[in-house]
Amino acid sequence: MSKVIKIRKGLNIPLIGEAEKILTTLPRSNVYSIKPADFHGLTPKMLINEGEKVKPGTPLFKDKYNEDVIFTSPVSGTFSGLIRGDKRKILEVQIKPEETDDYVDFGARDPLSLDRAEVVSKILQSGLWPVIRQRPYSVIAKTSDNPKSIFVAAFSSVPLGPDLDFIVNGQEATFQTGLNALSKLTNGKVHLSLHNENSISKAYTDAKNVEIHYFKGPHPAGNVGIQIHHIDPINKGDVVWYLDVQGVIMIGRLFEKGIYDARKIVALVGSEASNQRYFKLINGACVKSVIENNLKPNDSNDIRIISGDVLSGSIVSNDGFIGFYDQMISVIPEGNKPEFVGWITPQLNKFSISRTFFSFLTPWKKYRIDTNIRSGERPFVVTGQYEKVLPMDIYPVQLLKAILAGDIELMEKLGIYEVAPEDLALCEFVCSSKTEVQHIIREGLDLIKKEFE
């Protein structure tokens, strides 16, 4: 076995509501949606008109500033319209589905028999290119780049994260086909990151055309940014690509079957869900199809539905849609009720990273944690809290202050190219100043990208 990389800094948040290993296939949603907001920095340019018929793989829109990258329909149906926001910004591209899918045929091929240009072309034509993202900036990868390496994280450490061994079960050969395709996209290595105890699927441990690495430790050990930092750090000018396990599987299906098959498995988790389990659906499905009849009796104003994990996910409504990259839906209490004397009251049922509450006496206990941040924003001071939960050789507070000051040179020296918002999500969770750390990191990345691209 490869050397185990031990992550000593971090924090596992002990939430109630982990998904049982039960898989349910959902019926088709009444409508599917592709949300340009899921792809940071994207300006969509529509390619079809309202009322046109589409198939899985039919182009819907493309990136205005990177026109090779197209976004295709996940289902057969009719393009039913656009949902627009302020200044006519496109928020959603909606498809009313038919009962069955008639796929666009892109041709099945063995990726190992193709050259890099042919593999890139097939992924682009199918609309699957957006599953591949890049560091720095955490945006869709540029087809013109030749990355120094590609990373696939085969375990999740986020609170209530899905079991990726369970998700890959029965799709082992397809996953390997996806890895074979990725091996054609770089002159460097494809790195597959596993958990040293929990990653037991043969799809991972026997994977070929990859270099396997084992990790041990608390969250954010499963974040690809942390894995890149410890295996192949990013310097100015470097480009690393990454994608998740289900993205690899979708690419594998493309080469095995010649179609864009947008099915994926999503976990419903959280203390306010009554039926925590895994659901097979088509990407872009309505959240309602997952949570309907699967929530505890509660006022809708008392719960928060999140597409993604509780640290970095996006708030959605009952009628919202699952994010393109999200593999879970988290349902937790909203925390919108005032508390008498708040944190002063001694309690056993509240989680704290300090010894404010007596929860440190029961480290095995899990909690029903709400969204209440308990007080408002305070002066941004150096406390040492961030360094306890960020396993990277950077100075997070100094980096954030450099971003706020707009000092690009200092941002570069402090490691802006290595981070993405989710890497510092725990810093935001433990922050006594209530600083929006992830938002600041995103602003810093956007500033750097605008300056140099």
Burial class, 401, CB count within 10 angstroms (exposed 0-12 / middle 13-18 / buried 19+) = middle
pLDDT of the residue at 192: 98
Per-residue pLDDT at 436 exceeds 70: yes
Residue 81: Cβ within 10 Å count: 14
Confidence of residue 56 (pLDDT cuts 50, 70, 90): very high
Do you find a cis peptide bond into 136, omega within 30 degrees of 0? yes
Token pair of 209, please? 């055309």
Token pair of 263, please? 């099915």
Confidence of residue 383 (pLDDT cuts 50, 70, 90): confident
pLDDT of the residue at 342: 59
Whether 251 contacts 190, CB under 8 Å? no
Which 3 state secondary structure label does DSSP give 214? Answer: strand
Query: pLDDT tens for residues 248-296?
Result: 999 999 999 999 999 999 999 999 999 999 999 999 999 999 999 999 8
pLDDT (mean) for 24-31: 95
Which 3 state secondary structure label does DSSP give 93? Answer: strand
Distance CA 186, CA 441 (A): 28
Contacts of 136 (CB under 8 A, 6+ apart): 234, 238, 239, 416, 417, 418, 445, 448, 449
pTM higher than 0.85: yes
In DSSP terms, 328 is beta-bridged to: 267
Angle at 428 between CA 427 and CA 431, to 5 degrees: 80
How large is the angle between the packed helices 396-405 and 437-452, nearest 10 degrees?
A: 60
